[in-house]
Chains A and B, each alone.
Chain A
């Protein structure tokens, strides 16, 4: 037995989650695998394609239930993506599933040429993304995937925040007619407030909390930390808007501009390098629209990334309730009670 992974959340963060009535869900990865199996039972076009990643992609049950709809290619990510392109080109709906670190680097030329340039409706599923494999080092971190893929034309880039967003993203990807990249980690996620009023649509931010003192625009599995930071800041008298920008591209520019125009500061949050990800995308939108607002990017600095558990690394770089609250304070004018 390995020691349990340290919690991503401090006692204070747990208390904030409790105040918000949040309950712990499963890993988004598991929500992905269950949803894909459910969809594939009635849509024979759907195929899971794995590069010795059946286990890490939680696709064992899929393979058991639908052996004709899973393809194993071995540890060969270039081949994984090329084969997925071929499947998609002749009418299949492949979900090529591999650790994000390999999918968006080793197979990048196949993603660019075979999927995006050839314009086939394949889905690329980057699992164990960000620093999910924290202790395994930079070979297994994917802090570059948003940046690499954002610069490639014709791909929708999606990082769901919780199980519900994951299920919705997988459903949307299954009927998409264009290439899609889905990205998630393997840690259990809190279920965020149900967004009945803000349905999950690619390219449309989901507002999880209202407020105008500051806006926190977060993506993927950092959204929970943004929401808890907003709750924490509320106790200090600050009302913060929180948006889940699950779609990195196409970016919901309306939501970004509204944040910049309505709120006293904008903080972006992502489990990605500060170079080329959500933050720089939002900054470019704001500046080019002439919206000048105190602005900061919370992400991973351009350094030799520390190793440890995902939780250790998040804490090291301040991707926590407390760390993000501090970043908001730093953006706002000092108040003298």
Chain B
């Protein structure tokens, strides 16, 4: 896939995410849109996770700790062929496995998440297992910046450095907004980069919507045995102008009019892409 095709994926993923949420009448719109580019790069450029190797005991692992942004993950997994895209029409319907948080009932989902502060400890366990067995396996988790108030993250951060888990990457979807307001105002975790560095991690800061930069920080090698924290500065609601940085879109569902406006924006973005802009 060319870089240009990768860019188109992000637009399609955003469009399909908003469509799925609109159809379900529920979902975490803002946080899904903020992490689309990260997921795009992970699944199309970084992680060796496919429907074909899914059953293999030794392969890369991805645990989405900010589980509420599952809609974006579903869209990416459908695109990767884990299940038909039409499955998302059942999102949040009675007895559908496609619920509002990741579960292993859905092909391609590694662990059940939803409670915050769970993904990083789980990934420490997965990375430790690979290290002890000498397997070349990458383990990646995606955290929300608001989620970092959960103390379990810092227990895991300490353990990851102690156990020299150079195969572990924690990406912070740093959209700076949580349900009550700006993370800095709710309970600031800044300076976040200094915190992770103090816990013994290599910290890489990146524009979380720059696909090439994301790929660079997620594939560059680092010092041996040092876990990597990628702080991806993102915009909550990215890609839909009236959703960007607006609190109500944390779990807002568009009205018919808003949905039409969002669709029009995606059409314009795709047209611009076609025009080679």
Contacts and interface: CB of A to CB of B under 8 A. Distances in A.
Interface of A: 47, 68-69, 71, 73-74, 76, 78-79, 81-92, 94, 109-110, 113-114, 117-119
B121 A86 contact: yes
B118 A89 contact: no
Nearest to A86: B125
Contacts of A109: 115, 118
B191 interface: no
Contacts, number: 100
Q: How large is the interface on B (under 10, 10 to 19, 20 to 34, 35 or more residues)?
A: 20 to 34
B61 interface: yes
B57 A91 contact: yes
A194 B211 CA distance: 66
A74 B152 contact: no
B113 interface: yes
B177 interface: no
B155 A73 contact: yes
Contact of B152 (A68, A82, A90): A82
Nearest to B119: A82
A76 B112 CA distance: 21
B129 interface: yes
Interface in B104-145: 104, 110-115, 117-118, 120-130, 132
B158 interface: yes
Nearest to B137: A90
Nearest to A116: B112
A41 B163 CA distance: 22
Contact of B121 (A47, A78, A92): A78
B22 interface: no
B159 interface: yes
B152 A84 contact: no
B250 to A, nearest CB: 22
Contact of A86 (B57, B114, B122, B155): B122
A87 B128 CA distance: 7
Contacts of B20: none
Contacts of A91: 57, 129
Given A74-B159, A86-B128, 8 more contacts: A68-B132, A69-B132, A82-B118, A83-B128, A86-B124, A110-B152, A114-B121, A117-B103
B90 to A, nearest CB: 20
A91 B137 CA distance: 14
B156 interface: yes
B111 A90 contact: no
Given A71-B128, A74-B158, A83-B125, A119 B118 contact: no
Interface string B42-74: 000000000000000100010100000000000
Point out which of A68, A83, A110, A113 has the most chain B C-beta atoms below 10 A from its C-beta: A83
B155 A90 contact: no
5 contacts: A82-B118, A86-B111, A113-B114, A118-B111, A118-B112
Given A82-B152, A89-B110, A89-B111, A76 B124 contact: no
Point out which of B103, B115, B123, B152 has the most chain A C-beta atoms below 10 A from its C-beta: B152
Interface in B72-120: 103-104, 110-115, 117-118, 120
A164 to B, nearest CB: 32
Given A79-B159, A91-B57, A85 B152 contact: no
Contacts of B158: 74, 76
A82 B113 contact: no
Given A74-B159, A79-B152, A118-B111, A89 B122 contact: yes
A87 B104 contact: no
Nearest to A85: B122
Contacts of B132: 47, 68-69
Contacts of B103: 117
Contacts of B104: 118-119
Given A79-B156, A113-B113, A117-B112, A90 B118 contact: no
A42 to B, nearest CB: 17
Nearest to A71: B128
Contacts of B61: 90
Given A73-B159, A86-B123, A92 B129 contact: yes
A109 B120 CA distance: 14
Nearest to B117: A78
A78 B122 CA distance: 10
Contacts of A78: 117, 121, 151-152, 155
Given A79-B121, A110-B118, A87 B129 contact: yes
Contacts of A82: 118, 120-122, 124-125, 152, 156
Nearest to A45: B129
A118 B240 CA distance: 34
B126 A89 contact: yes
Contacts of B128: 71, 83, 86-87
A69 B132 CA distance: 8
B236 to A, nearest CB: 25
B152 A114 contact: no
Q: Which 10 A-B pairs have the closest CB atoms?
A: A86-B125, A82-B121, A79-B155, A83-B125, A76-B155, A86-B122, A86-B126, A87-B125, A118-B112, A78-B152
B155 A85 contact: no
B125 A85 contact: yes
Contacts of A74: 155, 158-159, 162
A152 to B, nearest CB: 13
A9 to B, nearest CB: 41
